[in-house]
């Protein structure tokens, strides 16, 4: 654990995160929104996968921003 003391955490503020352009990835965003808002079992996992650079983080940042605007966690 001594090795981790010198590391500085990355600033993960929402202001600098990339978001999907308006009107793009609507099918993916809608499917994720529906999957995340319907009643599901506690053990359910949603796995978003794809090659590096395909936009997984951007999609999730967009979805997180939308839930933040709805005041949902």
| More confident call, 17 vs 32 | 32
Is the distance from CB of 20 to CB of 62 less than 8 angstroms?
yes
At 38 the pLDDT is 82
Query: Residue 61 has what pLDDT?
Result: 93
Report the C-alpha gap between 29 and 42 in whole angstroms: 21
Q: What is the pLDDT of residues 46-67, one digit of tens each?
A: 899 999 999 999 999 999 889 8
Cα–Cα dist 7/33, whole Å: 35
Handedness of CA 14, 17, 21, 27 (dihedral sign): negative
- Nearest CA to 54 out of 26, 25, 30, 33 is that of 25
Could you tell me the pTM of the whole model?
Answer: 0.71
């Amino acid at each position: 654990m001594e090795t981790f003391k010198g590391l500085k955490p990355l600033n993960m503020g929402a202001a600098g995160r990339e978001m999907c352009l308006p009107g793009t990835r609507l099918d993916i965003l809608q499917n994720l929104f529906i999957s995340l808002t319907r009643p599901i079992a506690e053990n359910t996992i949603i796995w978003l996968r794809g090659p590096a650079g395909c936009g997984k983080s951007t999609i999730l940042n967009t979805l997180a921003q939308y839930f933040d605007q709805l005041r949902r966690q």
